[in-house]
Amino acid sequence: MNTISAGAARRTGLVVEDQPKIRDWLCAVLAETFADMDVVSAHDLRTARAWLKDHGRACEGFNLALVDIGLPDGSGIELIKELAALHPGVVPVVTTVYDDDGHLFEALAAGAQGFLLKDEETDTLAHSLRGIERGEPPLSPAIAHRILKHFREQAKPAKDAISLTGRETEVLTLLGRGLTIREAARRLGLAENTVAGYVKTIYQKLNISSRAEAALEAHRRGLV
């Protein structure tokens, strides 16, 4: 595990991935894309949690965690939940092979702010990373459909339930048809940043909404 030089106000990138070749590759891409980023890696949950316990609080600025779902000692989704709850300074991004993976949606609902496909070309990956840095997380049509379905099938809205605004639904629908953010922005007559901002909000709402649902479910089952 690499160490950070103490006191430097540098950004940190954490790569949690059990396959060594892929781990190295992701670290390399991170280092290349963000010049001022210290990249650390962990090969399982335990190591990742240990690192976070020691260094999680000290992160400033924009910090990234690339988390694989299938880890040897558990699911990366747990880690994403912990990151979202305990380390707000670290942006969790889930990495996966397939973008229609059922777990992917779960990870996003758990608080991941975007996803990366591990089989993409390096350039595309770098492109996506920069987008995430700008606050424009990627959203594939399949994910867009899933999110729309999630909010459509939500239980009857309670008085403080989360739901999408009309605009957000429009954006999701357009993205669901395969438009890029730029094209969607043009179609809606908005700035690209604005639409990208919507995507970010949508992810956040998804996270909140599914946490609320989980709490409700637990309550209903008498577990709370």
Partner 1 sequence: MSTWAIRTPGTLMALALALCLISGGGATWAAIHQPWIGLRLAPDADAVRIVEVAAAGPSRGLDPGGRLLAVDDVALMAEDAIEEPDTFETYTQHGRFLERQGRLHRLLQHGAVRLEMRTASGQAQAMVVRPVPRRPPASLPMVFWVQIFSGAAGLLIAAWVWALKPRDDAARLLALSGLGLILSAHAAAIYSTRELALDPALFNALSVLNHVGAMLFGAAMVGLFLCYPKRLVSRRTLLGIFLVLAAAPLLDLAKGVLTPVTAFYAPIAIDMVLILGLIGAQWWINARDPRAMAALRWLGLSVALGAGAFTLAIAAPLLLGFETAVSQGYAFTFFVLIYVGLALGLRHYRLFELNTWAFRIFFFMGAALSFLALDAALIWALHLGQGSALGLALAFVIFLYLPLREWLWRRTVGRREVAEQDLVDGVTEAALAATTAERVEKWEGLMRRLFDPLEIERVEAKLDRPDVGLEGLELTFPATSDSPALRLRYPWGGRALFSPAHLALARQAYTLLGRLEVGRDAFVHGAMAERKRIARDLHDDVGARLLTGLHEAGPETRPLLRAVLADVRAIVGGLTGERRPLALVLADLRFETCRRLDAVEIAIDWPVPEIEVADILLDYDHYKNLSSAFREVISNLIRHAGATRAEVMIHQGRDLAIEIADNGRGLAPAPEGGRIGHGLRNITERIEAIGGALVFPPREVGACVRITLPLALPPVPGMPEIMQAS
CB-CB neighbours of 27 under 10 Å: 19
- Does residue 183 bind partner 1 (CB under 8 A)? yes
DSSP code for 155: P
| Segments of the chain assigned E as strands | 11-16, 37-42, 63-68, 70-71, 74-75, 90-96, 115-117
Instruction: From 66, 40, 64, 68, select the one nearest 54 (Cα to Cα).
Output: 40
Closer of 100 and 217 to partner 1 (Cβ): 100
Q: Give the 3-state secondary structure percentages of the chain, helix then strand then coil, rounded to 5.
A: 55, 15, 30
Per-residue contact string for residues 89-128; x = within reach of partner 1 by CB under 8 A: --------xx-xx----------------xxxx-xx--xx
| Backbone torsions φ then ψ of 18, nearest 5 degrees | -90, -20
In the block, tokens 């702010």 appear at 113
Number of chain positions touching partner 1 (CB under 8 A): 28
CB 150 → partner 1: shortest distance, Å?
16
Closer of 4 and 180 to partner 1 (Cβ): 180
- Burial class from Cβ neighbours inside 10 Å (0-12, 13-18, 19+) for residue 61 reads exposed
> Which one among 154, 169, 180, 201 touches partner 1, defined by CB under 8 A?
180
Rounded Cα distance, 144 and 179, in Å: 11
Coil, strand or helix: which one is 42?
A: strand
Stretch that binds partner 1, among 56-64, 82-90, 177-185, 197-205 (CB under 8 A): 177-185
Stretch that binds partner 1, among 36-44, 73-81, 140-148, 161-169 (CB under 8 A): 140-148
> Which one among 106, 133, 142, 200 touches partner 1, defined by CB under 8 A?
142
Residues 6+ apart with CB under 8 A from 49: 79, 82
Rounded Cα distance, 37 and 122, in Å: 18
CB 55 → partner 1: shortest distance, Å?
27
Closer of 68 and 82 to partner 1 (Cβ): 68
CB 62 → partner 1: shortest distance, Å?
22
Closer of 17 and 38 to partner 1 (Cβ): 17
- Does residue 189 bind partner 1 (CB under 8 A)? no
Stretch that binds partner 1, among 57-65, 152-160, 172-180, 206-214 (CB under 8 A): 172-180
Residues that bind partner 1 (CB under 8 A): 19, 21-22, 24-25, 70, 97-98, 100-101, 118-121, 123-124, 127-128, 140-142, 145, 176-180, 183
